[in-house]
Amino acid sequence: MSERIKKLTELGQSIWLDTISRKVLENGEFRAMIERGDIRGVTSNPSIFNAAIAKTTDYDSALIPLAWAGWDAEKIFWQLAVEDIRAACDAFMPLFEETNGGDGFVSIEVSPFIANDTEKTTAQAQQLWVRVARPNLMVKIPATAEGIPAIRKSIASGVNINITLIFSLDRYAEVMEAYFSGLEDRITAGQSIQTISSVASFFVSRVDTKVDGKLPENSPLRGKAANANAKLAYQLFLKKFSGERWEKLKSHGARLQRPLWASTSTKNPAYPDTLYVNDLIGPNTINTMPPVTIEAFRDHGVPEVAITRDVDKARDEIAQIEAAGISMETVTYELEVEGVQAFSEAFTGLLSAIEDKRKKAAFSIGPLADSVSRRIAKLEEDSVPARLWQHDPTLWASDRAGQAEVKIRLGWLDSVADARGRLDGYRSFAREIHDAGIRRVLVLGMGGSSLTAEVLSSLAAGTNLEAGVSLSILDSTDPNQVTQMAEYFPPDQSLYIVSSKSGGTAEVNAAFDYFWSLSEGDGSRFIAITDPGTSLEALAKQRGFRKIFSADPNVGGRYSALTDFGLVPAALMEFDLNKLLDRADWMRHQCLADVPVARNPGFALGALMAESALAGRDKLTIVADPSVAALAGWIEQVIAESSGKNGKGILPVALEPLGAPEAYGNDRLFMYLRHKGDLDADLAALKNAGQPVIEFPIADAYAAGAEFFRWETAIAVACHILGINAFDQPDVQDSKERTKAKIADYQKTGKLADVELVNLSDAKAAVEKFLSGAKAGHFVSVNAYLPRTSDMIEVLQAMRIGIREMTKCAVTAGFGPRFQHSTGQFHKGGPNKGRFIQVVYDVEKDIEIPNEGLTFGTLIRAQALGDYEALKAAGRRVLRVCLPSLDDAKSLANIAD
């Protein structure tokens, strides 16, 4: 707190902030102002909310699901406003309690449309009081003739009231009388008045603006009317709150109704910028100031009691103004009418802007709007949010075994709180690694055990966040990719994170054996992240790993982003973990049980995805700006592995190259992860063609925290709607077992039996024939058991374009065995509408897996065979293409021309 503001507070005047916005509430600025002692309350009005909501995009993420729910503009406004007011009340609650209810108030105004209706104003004041449900709320009621009885009734009912738009001394007298009468009514009814608070907002600068316009330019009375009027109002205050009647009220615990000087920023640039602050300082007063006026007072304000100074002079100035033919009664009445009108116009403009945003949001989901709106209402009706947070397994499973699995897989709902308790451990370990001079980290993991690390590493690079280490993941058994990683992450410079929830993942075990051999058994170069009691934990203890992180066993792998699996790598990369978790917590609080489903971003998105799938738009096409594209792979996994079961599900089509509108059928729902707007023009064309397109702004790497929780919630909700258990993976094990059988046969015979391979020379004709039966609504998946390099990604992307042009179907692509831990579940368990092209190659430079009796090349070929057989066993259509060598991979780009 600056010395000037400290002195002002000591003199008995409180500064209340004359603005509010979601941005300052969420970015920490608001709490910082409170903690510094700069502000002791805050006010809002229609003009303030118009500037905050209509003229920024800060509220769009909250507004969009409300629009999907079919809410009208005014209903949306009150929801958004109440959220801000509650947040501000909560921020001020410590001050409110510290001052015993003397300060820390937050004001929200009734609709200006009802300013001249006593009954409606009274009713809405009560409604807002109940809805906000905070003791430090004040409801603002305009001091119109019809507002005066509403003030009395509201005070009598126990509502804290801020009376606004007071200009005249006569009206101010009525306001104070209404306060007294309301308190007396309450006492007569046998109710306590000790907690009732009220302020009277006397508007200042507008009086000068009005009077100055009627005076000659050289008049010495210019700039005098406003402060003179306020000083005379303060005299009325001193008189009213003294004497027998007040003392009687005071004996019952009545609080002063403090005068609040409103509209105190200077409108005339020729006047001093603290004119309406310095002259109005006095005990038991409030001055509402915008930030610029607060800063001005902090810099050069004069903290001295002035409100009781030169009172006779103030009376004389008002008399002179009257003598000049200017009626203060007329001036103040006009200001009251104009004030209500100005707020009404601002409110009209605000509702119009919200309506435009609402229409845009509804347009974005096009033909799904009605069904999504009904579904959101149904989720509310069925109390699904409450049941989710109560860990009710019947949302996803009706059988005992399924319910038992669900019960031990909902720990992700509380991962943020659990992670905060582990932060010291994360940070101290990261310091240890950095102090040891280790700057390269390789995560050996598959699926959810490694994807978050990759996402955060990529987001840090894409958003220019400087990372503390160079981090990559190895989630392949391809010998070329293993060799490449070994070259960049040599043991003498690297830390290896062996990451596996189950502790028995075959690919991870093979990678560990290889890098352990390279390190010559140096356990200080290895750490383990695994569930308690796994074989990996035992191995890490036996081999003397540097560290073992025991993850929460009640969180499934694909939901583990905000657990050790994501946060240990984040700490090593020097992410601000509190900031990352704050973003996640921000989203978590919006998804809680007491939040309306229409306002719940996770539930609304889940409703949209499910209704889209039910309508035949079951290809969730995720496009992204390159800087944030890695997040699409994480979303792909959590959706595919959660939903692709029992012939149902949502197919994530991640990072398929965008085409012209005519390239797509009616089976798509587009999701755009937007960072820099690289795809705005292409997506505008799709929107105009009637395709549903939803944007998710990704401001920086830390936004991932919120997105992790949003999408985890959304797919859980979508699976509930679709009748799918989101937390098991019944079809993944089949491929694993078949792979084990292939390896066992190889270890016995020294041979790996291959089946139904199409050679490259015949591939073009074979692919054309294979795809000829594809129909609208089907999809094609390219499962490439190739090294995941930029060149190979480019080849597969070209292949996807060619296949899409040939079939008009959605085309997914994944590198094996990586995709088996992502979309593999959907391939076998989802709708049987896919055609799978498996690509393998003859390895030229293979490497041994130590102690296993086989090579990486043999392992990846066995995995391809196991997956092929699992697909066939599930009744899927599969074509296998074999490349003579990696050098021939480029020809795949033209295979579907």
Please state, in angstroms and rounded to a whole number, the distance separating the CA atoms of residues 60 and 706. Answer: 15
Question: Does a cis peptide bond (omega within 30 degrees of 0) precede residue 730?
Answer: no
Looking at residue 754, its pLDDT comes to: 80
Looking at residue 657, its pLDDT comes to: 96
Please state, in angstroms and rounded to a whole number, the distance separating the CA atoms of residues 46 and 56. Answer: 15
Task: Please give the full DSSP string across 231-254, using - where no structure is assigned.
Answer: HHHHHHHHHHTSSHHHHHHHHTTP
Model confidence over 853-886: pLDDT tens digits?
999 999 999 999 999 999 999 999 999 999 999 9
Tell which residue, 56, 715, 674, has the closest CA to residue 354.
Answer: 56
Of the CA atoms within 13 Å of residue 434, those in its CB half-sphere come to 14
Instruction: Out of 140, 153, 240, 833, pick the active-site residue.
Output: 140
Please state, in angstroms and rounded to a whole number, the distance separating the CA atoms of residues 141 and 152. Answer: 11
Q: What percent of the chain has pLDDT over 70?
A: 100
Looking at residue 2, its pLDDT comes to: 87
Instruction: Output helix, strand, coil percentages for the chain, rounded to the nearest 5.
Output: 55, 15, 30
Looking at residue 760, its pLDDT comes to: 87
CB 200 within 8 A of CB 172: yes
Return the H-helix or E-strand segment holding 827: helix 824-829
**Reported confidence tier of residue 753, pLDDT bands at 50, 70, 90:** confident
Please state, in angstroms and rounded to a whole number, the distance separating the CA atoms of residues 783 and 762. Answer: 18
Q: What is the DSSP letter of 256?
A: P
| Tokens standing for residue 126 | 């009560």
Q: What percent of the chain has pLDDT over 90?
A: 94
Please state, in angstroms and rounded to a whole number, the distance separating the CA atoms of residues 824 and 697. Answer: 29
| CA pseudo-torsion sign 536, 537, 543, 546 | positive
Residues 6+ positions from 325 with CB-CB distance below 8 Å: none
Model confidence over 228-258: pLDDT tens digits?
999 999 999 999 999 999 999 999 999 999 9
| CA pseudo-torsion sign 792, 793, 794, 796 | positive
CB 160 within 8 A of CB 194: no
| Tokens standing for residue 242 | 């003294």
Residue 163 pairs in a beta bridge with 141, 200
Model confidence over 368-403: pLDDT tens digits?
999 999 999 999 999 999 999 999 999 999 999 999
Please state, in angstroms and rounded to a whole number, the distance separating the CA atoms of residues 107 and 137. Answer: 6
CB 696 within 8 A of CB 674: yes
User: Cα 591–592–598 angle (5° rounding)?
Assistant: 55
Looking at the predicted structure, is the pLDDT value of residue 897 above 80?
no
Looking at the predicted structure, is the pLDDT value of residue 895 above 90?
no
**How many angstroms separate the first and last alpha carbons of the chain?**
70
Please state, in angstroms and rounded to a whole number, the distance separating the CA atoms of residues 415 and 404. Answer: 20
Q: What is the DSSP letter of 656?
A: P
Looking at the predicted structure, is the pLDDT value of residue 74 above 80?
yes
Looking at residue 594, its pLDDT comes to: 93
Looking at residue 4, its pLDDT comes to: 95
Q: Is 140 a catalytic residue?
A: yes
Average pLDDT over residues 817-829: 95
Model confidence over 15-69: pLDDT tens digits?
999 999 999 999 999 999 999 999 999 999 999 999 999 889 999 999 999 999 9
Average pLDDT over residues 522-538: 97
Looking at the predicted structure, is the pLDDT value of residue 180 above 80?
yes
Q: How far is CA 187 from the centre of its chain?
A: 46
Amino acid making up residue 438: I
